[in-house]
A and B are shown apart, each in its own frame.
Chain A
Amino acid sequence: MRAQFVVSEIGVGLRRNLTMTFAVIVSVALSLALFGGSLLMSDQVNNMKGYWYDKVNVSVFLCNKSDAESDPNCAKGAVTEDQKKQIMSDLDEMAVVEKVTYESQDEAYKHYKEQFGDSPLASSLTPDQMQESYRIKLKDPEKYQVIATAFDGREGVQSVQDQKGILDNLFGLLNGMNWAARAVMALMLVVALMLIVNTVRVSAFSRRRETGIMRLVGASGFYIQAPFIMEAAVAGLIGGGVACGFLVIARYFIIDHGLALSEKLNLINFIGWDAVLTKLPLILATSLLMPALAAFFALRKYLKV
């Protein structure tokens, strides 16, 4: 097959349904940008999980004097030295525990002052009202339940709190957004595929004279179909390129510049360029193969030998 002949046929075909080609490019670009975005989003969530789960603690709060009056969990009074020793030695024996630190009332008061120093509530607070606590670092942050069952309801323990629970809400939200993005992507993908099938059909119809002659003079099925398939692939690839551009620009403006989240939210460990760049070949390959396959199957129906 002569390349020049094929290339010129593709050019003619793409220009002939310019509007349809444009629609294909836009829908492929949008669906693949969403596809890449959702991949990056889940990368980001995993990244944050690794980062934050490392820092989260399970806290065992102990009863103080004021809890003894108000909190039903502390009905038997404030925690005693014996109880504290028992809790400490129990924690030391547990396999899931990596490290335990004790926070006294004074330390808790200090931390609180550091965090909320200016609030009116903080100024009325005294160290007496703060709770002693054990801050437990787990080997596996998912094993929170082991601590909870062992200490919840024990005498002298007011509550067992898992900071991971708070994070899980956040990650749950992010994952939810991610699934929503995937749903939109799937929808856009279906739209893109239907557009491609339709474009190919229109294209095949508008060139039925040429293809009819090609059939008569004995051009092979592949030779007749190749220009249509390549047309779809070229339009798809342009869309894929646009999608890649979207992702790079998004990474640039959201994280580094413009919105500059990396400066404003320096507690979050953002994904790097490598995460973005490794997605691009996948997107380009998808943008090339998906329309080509769609065109191939569309032609089986509309362009019989």
Chain B
Amino acid sequence: MIRFDNVSKVYPKQSHPALRDVSLEVEKGEFVFLVGSSGSGKSTFLRLILREERCSHGQVHVLGKDLARLSNWKVPQMRRQLGTVFQDFRLLPNKTVGENVAFAQEVIGKSRGEIRKSVPQVLDLVGLGGKEDRRPGELSGGEQQRVAIARAFVNRPKLLIADEPTGNLDPQTSVGIMKLLDRINRTGTTVVMATHDQNIVDQMRKRVIELEKGRLVRDQARGVYGYQH
């Protein structure tokens, strides 16, 4: 699903690489936590998977494709098989919940009938059934993140990338979001989630990858957040 071979990333005009010689593999259907302090390279790691950046050395394979060889115009095609969720939700404030989810289908040219069928379905799945016509501003943070997850999942991606999805939420709401992500994972979708949330990582007991100053320092099945915390 994801394979990094000796991947390094150096941003222009920066002396220290954001990632150094990282090699790892994520299998289909896995749930992986990506942990590490700020500046450890988590975001770069995710950006490489989404091909918002290209790596400086090594090879990144996502969904069986070598991203270095993927031409620019094929990138959208690749991203359609990925879902993304962020800390700041990234919803469109002037569209309703339903429209926000439908947006992800409209822009890749899904038919109107398909959209009308799948939007209520996925909103039910994330527990927002019946809130289709509300606007994001009327919802709580947890509900907004559910909308974002619905949007990420509506095209049934093979891989879900979540960048601190619980970063803005209280512990109780976070648990709800994690249950949702776990449910999505059980449908066969691979989930890679960057987080700072110690409780969640410790409770879930999933594979943990830890980065420190751009190096891979730990890759542990059924791990906890960290030794030093």
Contacts and interface: CB of A to CB of B under 8 A. Distances in A.
B107 A219 contact: yes
B79 A216 contact: yes
B135 interface: no
Interface string A195-214: 00000000000000110111
Nearest to A217: B104
B73 A213 contact: no
Contact of A217 (B72, B73, B75, B108): B108
B155 interface: yes
Given A5-B106, A220-B76, A221-B76, A213 B112 contact: no
Given A219-B108, A220-B73, A221-B73, A213 B103 contact: yes
Contacts of B92: 209-210, 213
Interface in B129-187: 151, 155
B107 A217 contact: yes
A221 B72 contact: yes
A113 to B, nearest CB: 83
Contact of A1 (B109, B112, B155): B109
Interface residues of A, number: 18
B79 A215 contact: yes
Contacts of B28: none
B78 interface: yes
A213 B90 contact: yes
B50 interface: yes
B90 A209 contact: yes
B72 A305 contact: yes
Contacts, number: 58
Q: Tell me if A's interface is mostly helix, strand, loop or mixed.
A: helix
A218 B77 CA distance: 6
A209 B136 CA distance: 14
Given A209-B92, A217-B151, A2 B109 contact: yes
Given A210-B92, A217-B151, A218-B82, A305 B109 contact: no
Contacts of B106: 2, 5
Contacts of A305: 72-73, 75-76
A223 B107 contact: yes
Contacts of B112: 2
Given A217-B155, A218-B78, A305-B75, 10 more contacts: A2-B109, A216-B90, A217-B103, A217-B107, A218-B79, A218-B108, A220-B76, A221-B72, A223-B107, A305-B73
22 contacts: A1-B109, A2-B109, A212-B90, A213-B92, A213-B103, A213-B104, A215-B76, A216-B50, A216-B79, A217-B103, A217-B107, A218-B78, A218-B79, A218-B80, A218-B82, A218-B155, A219-B107, A220-B108, A224-B107, A305-B72, A305-B73, A305-B76
